[in-house]
């Protein structure tokens, strides 16, 4: 931007002072001297020669003074141009008006600064909107460890606006705070792990990068939630640890017996028979466990494929009950089915449904206790009642398996479908359980978009209810 000068630009001297303005200022400044000299001449106090000398000296002095002032004005003027060029590159022009220029210029500088501030505020707002739109929490920390900025995700995470607070009053993890110190001391960016104790406990991966905030050193912290990944990783490693433990236990028993049979019991046929029987049972347990593990992994692999066979659930459950009858008889348990007439088929995978009800009815027989009855009731709902989870209000077939066993304490009910969870691990193992039956049931139901719920009263028995979508 240049000062508006028009087509015929006024003449300027070497210092850039417009000559016309300089002449006007010199004339203004010398006017009182001229008036005084003329008055003295008229009054006869001085003669013409003195008057001329006076006028020349007066004009020269006024000229020097005017030049000095104009030069200062030109400097201020060019500084003002520079400022306005920074704040407003495309428009705005101003004119300096001789002796009245300073107040005008002050006003112009003020309004220019106001525009700059308004523009800065607008930029700030845009930046905040952008930063708030990010789903990851962000914090800007200054050299004095205060949080200069926190985005919306950070405010939600810490349940307060933490701007202005010390970072250690918000995050207490010593490793995390040390990493922030390092970055503020000039080190490179750092990746850190952060656990927030909650509740609920949450895990984050944090990146701390050096940056500058209005010429000050600062650290920009961005957090990425890893809670779910950490939980999955933990479950995976727990699962591997549990599965190895479950396999190692029968193996240890078998190896122990092999040693005994080839050593101390070498010549004891009675002990040999007993030990071989136990070894056989342990080998069977291992094989059941391997079967269940494989089956679980196969079901998980196909979980996203919705099954499409039309299955008559009464026939499937009838088959399961027939297959389990010998086992029930062995444990002195009576099995009974109560099925409503005209049940619609359900869309499912026949083998998996058979596996599902085998596990549930097997549990009823196993944990039901001797001389009791396990009943299986099947009915149809036009609109499933409350308690059917996401199937509530939809066309469903409901299967209830009820036993009269010792029941399950309420605090364990939510954990029953976890892999390897058992209320009484020793009893489950004694009865041949793998601890995977209900986990398999859960995954089969997930594939079938079905729902399971458990109700139990200690000493009275357990009721397991399954809802499946009617075709
Ligand atoms: N009908 C039931 N009555 C009492 N406890 C049960 C019943 N069904 C399941 N449970 C409990 O849930 C646990 C997990 O069941 P499950 O996954 O089938 O494993 P498993 O039967 O191999 O032990 C069992 O060990 C048992 O403690
Ligand atoms: Mg079981």
Over residues 250-293, the pLDDT tens digits come to 999 999 999 999 988 888 889 899 999 999 999 999 999 999 99
Domain match, 321 and 417 both: yes
Domain match, 412 and 450 both: yes
Burial environment of residue 51 by CB neighbours within 10 A (0 to 12, 13 to 18, 19 or more) = middle
167 token code pair: 């970072």
Ligand at minimal distance from the CA of 419 is 1
* Residues of the chain where predicted confidence (pLDDT) is lower than 70: 1-9, 83-102
**Rounded CA gap, 179 and 176, in Å?**
5
Domain match, 39 and 114 both: yes
Domain match, 191 and 246 both: no
Q: Is residue 394 part of a domain?
A: yes
pLDDT for 292: 95
**Rounded CA gap, 242 and 240, in Å?**
6
Residues 6+ apart with CB under 8 A from 43: none
Residues 6+ apart with CB under 8 A from 181: none
Domain match, 280 and 400 both: no
pLDDT for 4: 41
Q: Is residue 13 part of a domain?
A: no
Q: Is residue 31 part of a domain?
A: yes
pLDDT for 84: 62
Domain match, 394 and 363 both: yes
Cβ pair 218, 148 in contact under 8 A: yes
Domain match, 434 and 363 both: yes
Q: Show which of 119, 143, 174 is a domain's final residue.
A: 119
Ligand at minimal distance from the CA of 404 is 1
Domain match, 287 and 319 both: no
Q: Show which of 182, 205, 225 is a domain's final residue.
A: 225
* CATH code where residue 420 lies: 3.30.565.10
Tell me how far the alpha carbon of residue 433 lies from the centroid of ligand 2, in angstroms.
6
Q: Is residue 396 part of a domain?
A: yes
Task: Give the pLDDT confidence of 47-95 residue by residue, as tens digits.
Answer: 889 999 999 999 999 999 999 988 888 887 787 777 666 555 445 455 5
pLDDT for 79: 75
Q: Is residue 78 part of a domain?
A: yes
pLDDT for 100: 61
Q: Please state the atom number of ligand 1 nearest to the C-alpha of residue 401.
A: 1
Tell me how far the alpha carbon of residue 366 lies from the centroid of ligand 2, in angstroms.
8
Domain match, 343 and 374 both: yes
Nearest CA to ligand 1 atom 18: 437
pLDDT for 92: 47
Alpha-carbon distances, residue 43 vs 33, 38, 52, 56 (angstroms): 15, 9, 15, 20
> 91 is in which domain, residue-wise?
19-119
Q: How many helices (H) and strands (E) does the chain have?
A: 11, 12
**Rounded CA gap, 462 and 19, in Å?**
107
Tell me how far the alpha carbon of residue 406 lies from the centroid of ligand 2, in angstroms.
15
* CATH code where residue 220 lies: 3.30.450.20
What residues line ligand 1, using a CB cutoff of 6 Å?
359, 363-364, 367, 403, 405, 408, 416, 421-424, 428, 433-438, 462
Domain tally, the chain:
4
Q: Show which of 73, 93, 119 is a domain's final residue.
A: 119
**Rounded CA gap, 351 and 169, in Å?**
57
Nearest CA to ligand 1 atom 13: 422
Tell me how far the alpha carbon of residue 404 lies from the centroid of ligand 1, in angstroms.
14
Ligand at minimal distance from the CA of 433 is 1
Q: Please state the atom number of ligand 1 nearest to the C-alpha of residue 439.
A: 17
Domain match, 70 and 90 both: yes
Q: Is residue 460 part of a domain?
A: yes
Domain match, 201 and 114 both: no
Nearest CA to ligand 1 atom 3: 367
Tell me how far the alpha carbon of residue 304 lies from the centroid of ligand 1, in angstroms.
26
* CATH code where residue 250 lies: 1.10.287.130
The residue to mutate among 293, 296, 363, having the most atoms of ligand 1 within 8 angstroms of its beta carbon, is 363
Nearest CA to ligand 1 atom 10: 363
Q: Is residue 66 part of a domain?
A: yes
Task: Give the pLDDT confidence of 421-459 residue by residue, as tens digits.
Answer: 999 999 998 888 999 999 999 999 999 999 999 999 999
The residue to mutate among 290, 373, 404, 423, having the most atoms of ligand 1 within 8 angstroms of its beta carbon, is 423
Domain match, 150 and 240 both: no
**Rounded CA gap, 361 and 317, in Å?**
9
Tell me how far the alpha carbon of residue 430 lies from the centroid of ligand 2, in angstroms.
12
DSSP letters for 168-185 = GGT---HHHHHHHHHHHT
Q: Is residue 2 part of a domain?
A: no
Q: Return phi, psi of residue 190, to 5°.
A: -130, 150
SS3 40: helix
Residues 6+ apart with CB under 8 A from 137: 150, 151, 153, 154, 156, 157, 204, 222, 223
């Amino acid at each position: 931007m240049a000062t508006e000068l028009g087509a015929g630009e006024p003449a300027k001297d070497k210092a850039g002072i417009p000559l016309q303005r300089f002449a006007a200022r010199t004339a203004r400044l010398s006017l009182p001297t001229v008036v005084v000299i003329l008055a003295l001449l008229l009054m006869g106090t001085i003669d013409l020669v003195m008057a001329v000398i006076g006028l020349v000296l007066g004009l020269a002095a006024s000229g020097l003074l005017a030049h000095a002032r104009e030069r200062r004005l030109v400097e201020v003027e060019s500084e003002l141009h520079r400022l306005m060029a920074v704040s407003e590159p495309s428009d705005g022009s101003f004119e300096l008006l001789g002796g009245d220029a300073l107040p005008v210029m002050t006003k112009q500088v003020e309004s220019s600064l106001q525009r700059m501030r308004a523009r800065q505020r607008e930029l700030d707002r845009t930046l905040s909107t952008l930063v708030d739109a990010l789903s990851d929490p962000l914090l800007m920390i200054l050299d004095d460890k205060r949080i200069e900025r926190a985005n919306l995700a950070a405010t939600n995470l810490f349940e307060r606006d933490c701007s202005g607070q010390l970072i250690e009053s918000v995050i207490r993890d010593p490793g995390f705070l040390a990493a922030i110190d390092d970055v503020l001391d000039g080190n490179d960016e750092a990746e850190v792990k952060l656990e927030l104790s909650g509740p609920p406990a949450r895990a984050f991966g944090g990146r701390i990068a050096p940056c500058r905030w209005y010429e000050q050193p600062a650290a920009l912290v961005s957090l990425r939630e890893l809670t779910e990944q950490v939980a999955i990783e933990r479950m995976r490693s727990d699962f591997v640890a549990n599965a190895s433990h479950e396999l190692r236990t029968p193996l240890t028993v078998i190896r122990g017996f092999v040693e005994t049979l080839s050593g101390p019991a070498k010549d004891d046929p009675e002990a040999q028979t007993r030990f071989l029987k136990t070894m056989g049972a342990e080998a069977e347990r291992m094989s059941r466990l391997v079967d269940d593990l494989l089956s679980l992994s196969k079901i998980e692999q196909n979980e996203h494929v919705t099954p499409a066979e039309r299955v008559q659930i009464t026939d499937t459950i009838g088959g399961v009950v027939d297959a389990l009858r010998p086992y029930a008889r062995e444990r002195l348990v009576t099995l009974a089915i109560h099925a409503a007439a005209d049940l619609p088929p359900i869309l499912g995978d026949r083998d998996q449904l058979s596996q599902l009800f085998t596990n549930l009815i097997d549990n009823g027989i196993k944990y039901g206790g001797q001389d009791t009855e396990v009943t299986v009731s099947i009915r149809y709902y036009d609109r499933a009642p409350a308690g059917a989870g996401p199937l509530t209000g939809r066309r469903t077939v409901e299967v209830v398996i009820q036993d009269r066993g010792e029941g399950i304490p309420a605090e364990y009910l939510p954990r029953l479908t976890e892999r390897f969870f058992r209320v009484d691990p020793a009893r489950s193992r004694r009865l041949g359980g793998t601890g995977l039956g209900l986990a398999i049931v859960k995954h089969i139901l997930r594939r079938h978009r079905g729902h399971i719920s458990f109700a139990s009263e200690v000493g009275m028995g357990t009721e397991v209810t399954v809802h499946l979508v009617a075709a």
